[in-house]
Amino acid sequence: MSIELNQPALRHARALVRDGKVVRDERDDWSEAAPTADQENAFIEKHGWTEYSHWHLGIDRGENHETKGAYSFPFGDFSKVHRSGVISAESRAGQYDHDEIREALRSLLELIDKDTQD
């Protein structure tokens, strides 16, 4: 398993933050905000796998790209970036030594928090 930074997803996340499509919640809120399996399935059915991939900063190119197992480190609810999701994913990326993904999530969190201070 070789998980890489999903660059299109990072660009998507940054664009959402710049457009103000952010929920500024706290870390513990992610357990309630994260999409359920049924919500994920409905999103995939409606929008396809490419759009689904844009909501995950990790991608395993060794996995079938039309399976959920190919994608990791979700950061939003398919309409907005959740600060809690970014924090949770950053922590998990650090735990599993995915340094590039962790740094991307850290920069995304800084962008979210900077936007709050402006």
Q: What is the pLDDT of residues 39-98, one digit of tens each?
A: 999 999 999 999 999 999 999 999 999 999 999 999 999 999 999 999 999 999 999 999
Burial state string for 80-89 with b = 16 or more CB within 10 A and e = fewer than 16: bbbbbbbbbb
CA dist 110 and 108 (Å) reads 5
**Looking at this protein, which amino acid is placed at residue 11?**
R
> Hey, which bits of the chain come out as E strands?
3-5, 22-23, 56-60, 71-74, 81-82
pTM over 0.85: yes
Burial state string for 26-46 with b = 16 or more CB within 10 A and e = fewer than 16: eeebbeebbbeeeebeebbee
